Structure 1
Amino acid sequence: MDDELLAQSHLTRAQLAAEGVVGLALSWVDNAGITRTKAVPLRRLDQAVRDGVGMSPVFDVFLVDDSTTTSRFLGGPDGDLRLFPDLERAVPLAAQPGWAWAPADRYAQDGTPHPACQRLFARRMTEQARARGLSLLAAYEVEWVLRRPDGTDPAENGPAYGLHRLTDLSDYLRDLLQALETQGLDVQQIHPEYAAGQFEVSVAAEEPVAAADTTVLVRQTVRGVSARHGLRASFAPSFEPGTVGNGAHLHLSAWRDGRNLMTGGEGRHQLTKEGESFLAGILDELPALLVLGAPSPASHLRLVPSHWAGAYHCWGPENREAALRLVSGRSANAEIKCFDGAANPYLALGGTIAAGLAGLDAAATLPAEVNGDPAHLPTPPPRLPETAPEALASFTRSTTLHQALGDPLFHAIHSVRQAESTLFADQTPTQITEATRWRY
């Protein structure tokens, strides 16, 4: 450990100790979209920063039910990796007194980056954008369903988007806002959503890796505050079959020399040429990107028409039924509506950036926009893949994502998606929902 890093570790440990922290939870998100953790006593922070915390590479092939598969490059009991906490993101958890959290990067024992580290992948794609002179801002919306302790009764029964819900759960929502802001998160808004007991919180845009870190921390905080109020929170894409599920809409904008490429141009809806190409690349890859952004068989129970889930492979200005919505105005950005809470946020962001950069390189252009509900058009645009196997077939054909991810990570993701498709192949929508409802 160099002197600068050692000094940073000492400072972080002292700051956390002053906040009453005794334990640090290090987290990573696996290819099944599950946030895993290892924790260390705060007194061992220097050793964790110097040597890392041991973990098995088998986690790259964990499934949502905690069973494992194998892949061409990864899987099985052999090998070891090291988790290194990102001290700049270390923060005391407001809803879990005595605990702090930090995201972790994964390295091999010889100090080389683990080729299947999802967080390092997102950073690599961000750096590739920066090498092209682009800076990126991103944010995830977080939706969850809140239930009583037995998991069956909604936490409240107020109408969709209704003030009833805020009134009935005002103490809970107050504590959640306070916890998020105590942890340094810039909350933009919080509100009741459509489904029974469903809520949403939005935070300010950040650079991509920070945005993925933040959505992990937001969800952890929602869980912590919910538990302290005797409630359970689920971020699963399908909570009740046939009803609106939980999305995790990704907002992304690209900037050059301080100028937002998605506004102020001479193209359609004030898009710049580069902004259009970036969006066109994302739109082109959306069928394959579902494997990263809507990865579970449960995800496809959410992706139904006329539910604002983005089930159709199309784009439109301010169209909440299009998979790719162009958000206009001063904060113009792309909203990918088909992504959900089963996604690994680092993979979904990194893959989306890779697709956008491919569009830039190809000077791609957008097809005709879609206005209104695509399901009601005389000739609707094509649907996005309607099943996990269909999405996996698109992913398999994507040279853009394969090259961006690299062989070890691409094949590990492919194996996990294939194994989960097999796991749920004979399950009904109700059985799939029940099996995944409390996993995310």
Structure 2
Amino acid sequence: MENFLKKQNIKFIEAGFLDLHGVLRTRTFPADKIDELTSEGYGFDGYSVGYSNIEDSDLLARIDPTTLHVYEIDNIKIAFFLCDLYKDEKPLEIYPRYILKKIEKELSYKVLIGPELEFYIIKEDGSKDNGFYMASHPEDEDELLKRRLILELENIGINVELTHHEVGPGQHEITLPAMSPLEMADLTVFYKKYLKIFFSQYGYKVTFMPKPFEGLAGNGMHVHLSLWKDSRNIFYDDGLSDEAKYFMGGLLKYAPNIAVYTNPTVNSYKRLVPGFEAPVYLLWDWGNRSVLVRVPKYRKINPKNARVEYRAPDASGNIYLAFASIINAGIKGLKEKIDPGDPFNDNAYKPENQGKFKTLPNTLFKAIEYSKNMNLFSEELKNRYLKLKIKEWREYENYIGKNGLTLNTLAVTEWEIARYFWR
């Protein structure tokens, strides 16, 4: 690896991981430290990132060479790596990347996963373009810049399926090909970082925050999934298979219990309101964007394209926990043969449908309460994670009280912008 870095004229190594909230934490080293970082790693304070108690907080981060991405800023090449975490030379079992890796290894299926990450591009003066869904230039003022971005992504080894303008002014989506959950989670961590770096060079800001602007479409992370066994898509059986329906049944039944992982912030629940193509009701249907679980039907379903889309998640949290919870919920549905019910062939947002169906939690606090009824992960992880989330909610409550607001406000507060904008 050291020879490779020298040949590529790489000057620095950036080695990092997601904390329990899902915030990227990194350290930068001279490139000649690569062998040491691979074999020995570097020590850090696990208490400050949510993984340890203060009285026993020394953890070790060791780079995973398979996660390498090389990027360039100001003509300086940097090698980016994600790390595995260790406590007393043993894998840290509450580390979400370790958990997702373990789930993937123990499954008797191969999972293909493809998230659609929406984001806003904001100009230096705070303005946005005047674009709309699938807008082209000139309404999509960032179209040419996005094409330049795609070329840059391809130059660093990231393939792109497509890009388009989303519903909100200044809102966009770039779709990546489906891959294994761990590969996709790792790639998404770097992808989010790189987009922010790329656009910052032109004086723009990028946010994946679920609801950065009141009254405009929120940023989702719709997750497409399929299960494969012996090179066969088990979601297909001359149409949508029973296995696919059971998997959907698990997603629908356990959606409230996993919401604290898939929609992990106060701001997440200001996106999950009717009228903005954000799901609220625990329903499924073919091609219906008003329900929680959608089965795409652009083309006739076949062995290659059979999949389900889980529309609740956003990209504001720990993507390893989000993917792990979604997969666990779906697999539970498969094992328990949970019937998802009939497809809902209607607009769930119609006034006459309000209050008829079970819903997702509408606040982070309610999501925390629902999560206590399901043991997806170890008690240690669950307790540590929920402790952070309860603290987050209490801080928001305190802000709301001091500013004369109510907890059911849909206004996007300064507290949320300060906390979540750079997620």
| Residue 421 of structure 2: aligned partner | 438
For the pair 1:397 / 2:373, whether they are aligned, the reply is yes
For the pair 1:141 / 2:116, whether they are aligned, the reply is yes
Comparing both chains, which one has the higher relative contact order based on Cα–Cα distances under 8 Å and sequence gaps of 6 or more? Answer: 1
CA–CA distance in 1 between the matches of 2:228 and 2:139?
37
CA contact (8 A) 1:159 1:165 kept: no
Q: CA deviation at 1:430?
A: 2.8
Deviates more, 1:373-382 or 1:353-362: 373-382
CA–CA distance in 2 between the matches of 1:104 and 1:249?
26
For the pair 1:43 / 2:32, whether they are aligned, the reply is yes
CA–CA distance in 2 between the matches of 1:241 and 1:58?
35
Structure 2 counterparts to residues 225-236 of structure 1, below 5 A? 225-236=198-209
Q: 2:14 aligns with which of 11, 25, 35?
A: 25
| Residue 94 of structure 2: aligned partner | 116
CA–CA distance in 2 between the matches of 1:242 and 1:436?
20
Taking structure 1 as the reference length, the TM-score comes to 0.87
CA–CA distance in 1 between the matches of 2:48 and 2:334?
34
CA contact (8 A) 2:137 2:143 kept: no
CA contact (8 A) 1:19 1:92 kept: no
For the pair 1:217 / 2:206, whether they are aligned, the reply is no
Distance of aligned partners of 1:59 and 1:127 in 2 relative to their CA distance in 1, 3 Å threshold:
farther
CA–CA distance in 2 between the matches of 1:433 and 1:89?
31
Q: CA deviation at 1:33?
A: 2.3
Q: 2:155 aligns with which of 167, 177, 182?
A: 182
Query: What letter matches 1:81 in structure 2?
Result: L
Query: What letter matches 1:143 in structure 2?
Result: E
Structure 2 counterparts to residues 38-437 of structure 1, below 5 A? 38-61=27-50, 74-76=52-54, 78-94=56-72, 97-108=76-87, 110-129=88-107, 132=108, 134-150=109-125, 152-154=126-128, 156-164=129-137, 168-265=141-238, 270-328=239-297, 329=301, 330-376=304-350, 378-379=352-353, 380-399=356-375, 401=376, 405-425=377-397, 426-427=399-400, 428=405, 429-431=411-413, 432-437=415-420
Taking structure 2 as the reference length, the TM-score comes to 0.90
CA contact (8 A) 2:211 2:412 kept: no
Aligned residues: 404
- Alignment RMSD, CA only? 1.9
Identity of aligned residues (%): 24
> How big is each residue's C-alpha offset from its partner over 1:337-380, in whole Å with a ceiling of 9 and x where there is no partner?
11112121111011111112212221222122222321217444
CA contact (8 A) 1:223 1:233 kept: yes
> How big is each residue's C-alpha offset from its partner over 1:254-306, in whole Å with a ceiling of 9 and x where there is no partner?
112211122224xxxx2222222222112211112111111000000100112
CA–CA distance in 1 between the matches of 2:2 and 2:278?
43
> How big is each residue's C-alpha offset from its partner over 1:191-220, in whole Å with a ceiling of 9 and x where there is no partner?
111111111111001111001011112111
CA contact (8 A) 1:172 1:225 kept: no
Q: CA deviation at 1:166?
A: 7.3
CA–CA distance in 2 between the matches of 1:83 and 1:295?
25
Distance of aligned partners of 1:149 and 1:14 in 2 relative to their CA distance in 1, 3 Å threshold:
farther
| Residue 408 of structure 2: aligned partner | none
CA–CA distance in 1 between the matches of 2:73 and 2:418?
27
Query: What letter matches 1:436 in structure 2?
Result: R
CA contact (8 A) 1:28 1:37 kept: yes
Q: CA deviation at 1:175?
A: 2.1
CA contact (8 A) 1:166 1:173 kept: no
Segments of 5+ residues of structure 2 without an aligned counterpart are: 406-410
Question: Whose helix fraction is larger, Structure 1's or Structure 2's?
Answer: 1
CA–CA distance in 2 between the matches of 1:372 and 1:91?
45
Q: CA deviation at 1:162?
A: 1.1
Q: CA deviation at 1:126?
A: 0.9
Q: CA deviation at 1:229?
A: 1.2
> How big is each residue's C-alpha offset from its partner over 1:94-152, in whole Å with a ceiling of 9 and x where there is no partner?
557421211111111x32110221101111111221xx2x11111221211111224x2
**Aligned to 1:178, what secondary structure does the other structure show?**
helix
CA–CA distance in 2 between the matches of 1:385 and 1:187?
34
The runs of at least 4 aligned residues of structure 1 exceeding 4 Å deviation read: none
**Aligned to 2:196, what secondary structure does the other structure show?**
helix
CA–CA distance in 2 between the matches of 1:262 and 1:378?
33
CA–CA distance in 1 between the matches of 2:113 and 2:73?
25
CA contact (8 A) 1:295 1:343 kept: yes
CA contact (8 A) 1:94 1:179 kept: no
